[in-house]
């Protein structure tokens, strides 16, 4: 399967190593990643449409995530902004895909030879292997899962400093002036954080102390108002602003955010974009009445798949749910059927719940990314516990991480 020998110098650059830590050598896996496959062409007349779409969606997610995060897996010095959580996300995607894939080889099924699966060496894309056998795909998936587990183990061996990553946590007890609706006055993504101007210095300093070493924390207004969280929508790839945004505000944000973040002002009559759009780095749910041009802009600027949806019958999807790449919280009256449908659509676990002592307006009381969440001051201990769990923000002991990954791998194979 191939491993690349690595030493602390390789993995840490010129970072100063703590004096009480001896030399550590780790083996960084040589990674193989999948290329896209058209299941509909090979299996369209052999399986139900829903099953073909399920296979396609699960594998496409793996292809996208592995392609985007491959370099961070094989080179531990290139940490993600949220401390390597994408390794766990990719591992979960593989675990979701494997049981469905095994259906193609069950009891010697003839379907196992119908699809040509292609995998490439991430270090050398010219090294490509294509085999029309579903067992090859199964073994390749298991190999990738094993490599992810090895990468996680490597990270536990390396000295941890504050620059190594960011520890998951929830910041509670926040207020903007006298309001506990922190999501109204802030917008958080994996690449930046926006905070409304004019609030107390304590409000801004809470965000700055937790985030400033990792992503920019920018004070701003939008359209001359402070309800910025309800007026904009964004993720690590882009930021969408309403037509009411002034030229000065637009230029300020473009100058303040990372160069790779696309900042775009759009002409949409439903100008409270934060109320009308909920998104993570892969999927966006939108108000059913958004213009088609706006839908295309969302897909282009944010780099996501766009779905027109309602949450518990509410068209303001951006207000009644909040989700990251790891999990999500939705309106408490969301039915079990709708919850399952949304979870499948988003490919993340979802929980129906509340914030700020029973508030159904989820996104007003919380702002969250893949490694931290900020909650309003009225949020109860029970609500905080739900938030920590569904967004996977509760810190795990290192040994528990490895044990859990090993257990899930063994259970899946068995």
Q: What percentage of the chain exceeds 90 in pLDDT?
A: 47
**293/86 Cα distance (integer angstroms):** 31
pLDDT for 283-298, tens place per residue? 999 999 999 999 999 9
Q: Which of 18-22, 84-88, 369-373 has the lowest mean pLDDT?
A: 18-22
**347/175 Cα distance (integer angstroms):** 32
- Ramachandran area for residue 13 (φ above 0: left; ψ -120 to 50: alpha; else beta): left
> What is the domain partition of the chain in residue ranges?
32-74+85-155, 170-394
**86/236 Cα distance (integer angstroms):** 13
The full DSSP string for 207-274 is HHHHHTTTS-EEEE-BTTBS-HHHH-EE-SSEEEE-TT--HHHHHHHHHHS-TTSEEEE---SS--HH
- Between residues 225 and 92, which one has the greater pLDDT? 225
Mean pLDDT in residue range 36-42: 85
pLDDT for 371-387, tens place per residue? 999 999 999 888 998 99
Q: Look up the pTM and report it.
A: 0.58
* Fold of the 170-394 domain: 3.75.10
> Has residue 37 got a pLDDT over 70?
yes
Q: Please give the pLDDT value at position 201.
A: 78
pLDDT for 159-184, tens place per residue? 443 333 445 567 666 888 889 999 99
């Amino acid at each position: 399967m191939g491993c690349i020998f690595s030493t602390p110098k390789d993995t840490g650059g010129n970072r100063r190593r703590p004096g009480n830590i001896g030399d550590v050598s780790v083996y960084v896996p040589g990674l193989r990643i999948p290329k896209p496959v058209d299941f509909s062409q090979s299996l369209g007349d052999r399986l139900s449409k829903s099953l073909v779409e399920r296979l396609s969606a699960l594998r496409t997610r793996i292809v996208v995530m592995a392609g985007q995060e491959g370099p961070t897996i094989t080179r531990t010095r290139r940490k993600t902004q949220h401390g390597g959580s994408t390794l766990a996300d990719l591992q979960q995607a593989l675990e979701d895909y494997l049981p469905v894939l095994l259906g193609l080889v069950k009891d010697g099924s003839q379907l196992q030879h119908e699809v040509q699966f292609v995998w490439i060496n991430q270090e050398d894309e010219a090294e490509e292997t294509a085999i029309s056998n579903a067992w090859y795909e199964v073994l390749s998936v298991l190999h990738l899962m094993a490599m992810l587990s090895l990468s996680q183990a490597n990270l536990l061996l390396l000295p941890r400093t504050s620059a190594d990553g960011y520890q998951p946590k929830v910041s509670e007890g926040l207020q903007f002036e006298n309001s506990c609706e922190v999501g109204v006055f802030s917008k958080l993504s994996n690449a930046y954080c926006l905070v409304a101007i004019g609030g107390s210095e304590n409000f801004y300093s809470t965000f700055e102390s937790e985030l400033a070493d990792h992503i920019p924390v920018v004070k701003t207004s939008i359209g001359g108002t402070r309800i910025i969280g309800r007026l904009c929508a964004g993720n690590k790839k882009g930021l969408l602003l309403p037509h009411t945004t002034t030229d000065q505000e637009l230029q300020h944000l473009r100058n303040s955010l990372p160069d790779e973040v696309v900042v775009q002002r759009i002409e949409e009559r439903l100008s409270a974009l934060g109320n009308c759009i909920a998104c993570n780095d892969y999927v966006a749910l939108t108000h059913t009445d958004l213009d088609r041009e706006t839908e295309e802009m969302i897909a282009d600027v944010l780099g996501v798949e766009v779905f027109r949806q309602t949450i518990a019958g509410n068209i303001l999807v951006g207000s009644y749910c909040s989700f990251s790449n790891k999990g999500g919280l939705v309106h408490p009256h969301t039915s079990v059927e709708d919850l399952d449908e949304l979870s499948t659509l988003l490919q993340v676990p979802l929980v129906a719940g509340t914030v700020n002592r029973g508030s159904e307006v989820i996104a007003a009381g919380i702002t969250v990314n893949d490694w931290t969440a900020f909650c309003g001051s009225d949020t109860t201990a029970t609500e905080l516990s739900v938030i920590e769990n569904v967004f996977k923000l509760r810190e795990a002991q290192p040994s528990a991480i490895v044990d859990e990954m090993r257990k899930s791998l063994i259970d899946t194979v068995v």
